[in-house]
Amino acid sequence: MSDLLRPPSAPGHAREAAILLGAVRARAPLTHCITNAVVTGFTANALLAIGAAPAMVDIVGEAGIFAGAASGLLVNLGTPTPEQRRASREAVAGAVAAGTPWVLDPVAIGTLPIRTELARELLDRRPASVRGNASEILALAGRSAGGRGVDATAAPEDAADAAVELARGSGAVVAVSGPVDLITDGERIVRVANGDPLLTRVTGGGCALGAVMAAFLGAAHADVDADAGADALGAVVAAHLAYAVAAERAASRASGPGSFAVSLLDALAELRPEDVESAARIELGEVAA
Amino acid sequence: MSDLLRPPSAPGHAREAAILLGAVRARAPLTHCITNAVVTGFTANALLAIGAAPAMVDIVGEAGIFAGAASGLLVNLGTPTPEQRRASREAVAGAVAAGTPWVLDPVAIGTLPIRTELARELLDRRPASVRGNASEILALAGRSAGGRGVDATAAPEDAADAAVELARGSGAVVAVSGPVDLITDGERIVRVANGDPLLTRVTGGGCALGAVMAAFLGAAHADVDADAGADALGAVVAAHLAYAVAAERAASRASGPGSFAVSLLDALAELRPEDVESAARIELGEVAA
Amino acid sequence: MSDLLRPPSAPGHAREAAILLGAVRARAPLTHCITNAVVTGFTANALLAIGAAPAMVDIVGEAGIFAGAASGLLVNLGTPTPEQRRASREAVAGAVAAGTPWVLDPVAIGTLPIRTELARELLDRRPASVRGNASEILALAGRSAGGRGVDATAAPEDAADAAVELARGSGAVVAVSGPVDLITDGERIVRVANGDPLLTRVTGGGCALGAVMAAFLGAAHADVDADAGADALGAVVAAHLAYAVAAERAASRASGPGSFAVSLLDALAELRPEDVESAARIELGEVAA
């Protein structure tokens, strides 16, 4: 991405998102998901739609092997059974050993102890990115006891300081989902204003984004090896842009949350790189020193 | 609901359903579901569509805590893994301790021993409501060895006596699903004739209703605390009415079971309280002494 | 099927498929599925749409009992938790004891050790049919280390010899999914050219076919008892034809993978036996001695 300034401008991010969407389509990154039982089907369908190759391998004795071979890994803690907890640890170890970028989605941490403890443990294993709503990011940063579950009661801007702190402490790009998504690597802040409120009316609307992030990170990582890749911040912003622009297009055709979910898959499949670039609504910020 | 007679007339139930749908929308009751792996996604989407806040927490060490904080709880025994069985017991204990109303859906009990035993055990923990098809209600009342699984071979009226007996013995409002749903608290019988046969062609068509019942019971319970609530019978009837009226609207736009499931979510989201009231088809009966 | 030549001609297979679709509709075969967490909902909906009665019973202590009572059984190894592994062994034992035909879908075997070992063990328990993509069939026949997961990198024709060998060794009808499906009982080869590439863009597109195979085998098995049934090869071909013809009709109405999945369920429900017969594109072959 030699024609882009570092750090990129807002148009630079939009351009990078378009290029990375093309890379996802060309490479079909094998995206390993350990995710919750509620959203597995929708998540796999979202990955297939955007051009990635999903694989939901959450079995002890297999997850570690698979994470080593995958392009990217998502660990989503929405329904962390004992088998999934062990498989998550195994998969993260495999990903770390192989250099596979991985995404942590600490669903509903804060009040629920099993997943909260696991999220804190996994955070030390250097995820490439962490995604959550404001309540979850606040809880992971130790700022709050969390919301009332999967339901975000805080706004992304309320978690801005916590996100920056979390990014600096963990080395991960932290993404806070909300009406305007806030994404930070601890130094830069990127706000993505695309999207649609219907995403909050569909179960897995956020969880599937975590998987798309793993796919984009996987595609970017492969390109980095070829000296043409985006950094993790760019890949996370790109995933958010692609997903949110598709959501806008889906919303314009939907009659409600049921038809929106269907249209979102159609829109992810038909999304063109130039659509992402032209529709992107991004704002950049610097973190105060 | 001071303007309603007790026991309500059929128009009174329809009115109450409209008011409770408004309460669900206003309160977004946190609805805790422990449900089967086949229908988790559809169930969560149905709850989101109607305005409730779903949370599928079926992990030992978390389920009890969560049930204490939730507005309502569903325990559906469709795929009762060992983890879910333990989590169900924990959640029910948490719900009972906190006064959270909870719904038991004894899927496919009768011939399948693990869930049959668990259903009998949980029935003693005072569910606010029990929902099933006629075969399941007969089996829970000890009247029959059950059908051939999830597939109802008996009609609701065949289970009327069993439902009344079960309601009297357990203190739960018992709802028997079928072409005409039969709902009883052991003294009064309410029959809801709304709905559409396509509900039986979609997996989770009945299971999601159980979750909607938990949401309505949660909303009614909160209003009871505020001296304006419906009783459990009214809340269960209201959930059936809202769900079944939405199903009728969805069926009128559907080309088959796939598009029906999608349209049902859209219809649940756009359903207005006055639609429920005007479309309700209810018949009241008394139980012979 | 006294009016059909044995082995049937291509028109004979198409005719048989039409008759068997009618039998599925008439009998609603109870189809027991132990399948992966990603596709349970879609699989159950596909079975309901085509007229079968699905039951997802994967609990130890229940699976064996249920398999003995079911018309057909699917064991899909996509997410083989410890509970599912034990339940699968129990279900297969129950099916074998009762003479229930069962289908093995060895999802992603090859590189993933837990499921690979289980697939080899279960293959000795005489499945009526085995379904997989070319990589999986090659791996099950011991010819290859497998693909990169659920993602087929080999073509069905690459696995033709392996499929024949596997069929002869196991006694199962082996079906290799791809742009043209290849189905063999070790002596005859049937190629089904119907279908649509969108099936590969929907998660569970292949897994649901495995369940439909179990339903058709169940219906054919019942008819065999009545001296009018198809053999296992005919039933497997019929399931592929019905499913693939429905997929073609769905694709013609779809705007992408999301609407395709919805339309596929609608198309399975409205599919008429004569549609299957007239749209069938089959090629027959003999295995060289």
What is the pLDDT averaged over residues C90-103? 98
pLDDT at C49: 98
Exposure of C117 by Cβ count < 10 A (0-12 exposed, 13-18 middle, 19+ buried)? middle
Q: How confident is the model at residue C225 (pLDDT cuts 50, 70, 90)?
A: low
What is the pLDDT averaged over residues B50-73? 98
CB–CB contact C115 A269 (8 Å) = no
Query: Which residue in the set C36, C115, C149 is minimally distant from A30, CB to CB?
Result: C149
CB–CB contact C263 B261 (8 Å) = no
Q: How confident is the model at residue C4 (pLDDT cuts 50, 70, 90)?
A: very low
C-alpha torsion C82→A31→B258→C272, nearest 10: -90
pLDDT at A2: 42
Question: Which DSSP helix (H) or strand (E) runs through C33?
Answer: strand C30-34
What's C68's DSSP letter? H
pLDDT at A53: 98
C85 is in an annotated binding site: no
pLDDT at C2: 42
Instruction: Answer whether residue B130 is part of any domain.
Output: yes
pLDDT tens for residues C183-219?
999 999 999 999 999 999 999 999 999 999 999 999 9
Q: State the nearest Cα–Cα gap between B50 and chain C, in angstroms.
A: 21
pLDDT at A200: 96
Amino acid at B50: I
CB B130 within 8 A of CB B140: yes
Give the contacts of A153 (CB within 8 A, at least 6 positions apart).
A135, A147
Mean pLDDT for chain B overall: 93
Amino acid at B198: L
pLDDT at A225: 52
What are φ and ψ of residue A32, in 5° steps?
Answer: -85, 125
Q: Which two tokens stand for residue A72?
A: 């990217």
Query: Is residue A113 reached through a cis peptide bond, with omega within 30 degrees of 0 on the bond before it?
Result: no
Q: State the nearest Cα–Cα gap between B62 and chain A, in angstroms.
A: 6
d(CA C43, CA A102): 30
CA C273 centroid distance within chain = 19
CB C75 within 8 A of CB B57: no
Instruction: Answer whether residue C50 is part of any domain.
Output: yes
Mean pLDDT for chain C overall: 93
Nearest CA in chain C to A53: C151
- A98 close to C (CB below 8 A): no
**Secondary structure (3-state) at A189:** strand
Which residues of chain C are within 8 Å of residue A34 when distances are taken between CB atoms? none
* Beta carbons within 10 angstroms of residue A252's beta carbon: 11
Which residues of chain C are within 8 Å of residue B256 when distances are taken between CB atoms? 49, 265-267, 269-270
pLDDT tens for residues B186-228?
999 999 999 999 999 999 999 999 999 999 999 998 865 554 4
pLDDT at A5: 43
Domain count, chain A: 1
Instruction: Answer whether residue C3 is part of any domain.
Output: no
In the Cβ-directed half-sphere of A205, how many Cα atoms lie within 13 Å? 31
DSSP secondary structure string for all residues of B138-155:
HHHTTS-S--SSSS--S-
Least confident of A4-8, C115-119, C159-163, C244-248: A4-8
d(CA A280, CA A15): 9
- A74 close to C (CB below 8 A): no
- A48 close to C (CB below 8 A): yes
d(CA A19, CA A228): 10
- B177 close to C (CB below 8 A): no
d(CA B123, CA B89): 11
B204 is in an annotated binding site: yes
CB B57 within 8 A of CB A112: yes
Please, what is the end-to-end C-alpha distance for chain C in angstroms? 28
- Give the helix, strand, coil percentages of chain A, each rounded to 5: 55, 15, 30
pLDDT at C8: 78
CB–CB contact A49 C113 (8 Å) = no
Instruction: Answer whether residue C163 is part of any domain.
Output: yes
Q: How confident is the model at residue B287 (pLDDT cuts 50, 70, 90)?
A: confident
Q: What is the CATH number of the domain that holds C124?
A: 3.40.1190.20
- Tell me the pairing of strands A129-133 and B53-55: unpaired
pLDDT at C149: 47
Amino acid at C189: I
d(CA B220, CA B234): 9
Q: Which two tokens stand for residue A168?
A: 């600096």
For C189: left if phi > 0, alpha if psi spans -120 to 50, otherwise beta; the answer is: beta
pLDDT at B13: 95
CB B19 within 8 A of CB B42: no
Instruction: Answer whether residue B3 is part of any domain.
Output: no
CB–CB contact B62 A148 (8 Å) = no
Closest CA to C239 of C203, C206, C283: C206
Separation in Å, CA B251 to CA B194, B202, B244, B271:
12, 12, 10, 14
Dmax (CA) for chain B in angstroms is 47
Task: List chain A residues with pLDDT less than 50.
Answer: 1-5, 145-147, 149-151, 227-228
Instruction: Answer whether residue B2 is part of any domain.
Output: no
Count contacts between A and C (CB, < 8 Å): 99
Q: State the nearest Cα–Cα gap between B208 and chain C, in angstroms.
A: 13
pLDDT tens for residues B131-154?
999 999 999 999 864 445 444 568
pLDDT tens for residues B217-257?
999 988 655 544 579 999 999 999 999 999 999 999 999 99
Instruction: Answer whether residue C205 is part of any domain.
Output: yes
Q: Helices (H), strands (E): how many in chain C?
A: 11, 9
Chains that touch A (3 or more CB pairs under 8 A): B, C
pLDDT at C288: 73
d(CA A289, CA B5): 66
Chain position carrying tokens 């946190």:
B30
**Secondary structure (3-state) at B109:** coil
Query: Which residue in the set B48, B81, B262 is minimally distant from A201, CB to CB?
Result: B48
Closest CA to B101 of B216, B217, B186, B213: B217
Alpha helices (H) along C70-159: 82-98, 113-123, 134-140
Whether the pLDDT of residue B123 is over 90: the answer is: yes
Give the contacts of B216 (CB within 8 A, at least 6 positions apart).
B20, B24, B72, B235, B236, B238, B239, B242
Instruction: Answer whether residue C196 is part of any domain.
Output: yes
pLDDT at A223: 67
Nearest CA in chain B to C270: B256
d(CA C272, CA C249): 12
Q: What angle do CA B210, B214, B216 make, to 5 degrees?
A: 115
* Beta carbons within 10 angstroms of residue C123's beta carbon: 19
- C55 close to A (CB below 8 A): no
Separation in Å, CA C52 to CA C32, C135, C214:
10, 29, 10
Q: Which two tokens stand for residue B97?
A: 């301790």
Whether the pLDDT of residue C3 is over 50: the answer is: no
CB B201 within 8 A of CB C48: yes
- Tell me the pairing of strands B72-76 and B53-55: unpaired
CB A232 within 8 A of CB A131: no
What's B144's DSSP letter? -
Q: How confident is the model at residue C154 (pLDDT cuts 50, 70, 90)?
A: confident
d(CA C13, CA C237): 7
Proportion of chain B above pLDDT 70, given as a percent: 91
C177 is in an annotated binding site: yes
pLDDT at B140: 97
CB B267 within 8 A of CB B259: no
Amino acid at C100: T
What is the pLDDT averaged over residues B33-50? 98
Q: What angle do CA C145, C151, C154 make, to 5 degrees?
A: 60
Q: How confident is the model at residue C7 (pLDDT cuts 50, 70, 90)?
A: low
CB–CB contact A113 B61 (8 Å) = yes
Nearest CA in chain A to C113: A62
Q: State the nearest Cα–Cα gap between A50 and chain C, in angstroms.
A: 10
Q: Which domain holds residue C276?
A: 10-286
d(CA B199, CA B178): 10
**Secondary structure (3-state) at B252:** helix
- C265 close to B (CB below 8 A): yes
Which residues of chain C are within 8 Å of residue B39 when distances are taken between CB atoms? 41
- A38 close to C (CB below 8 A): no
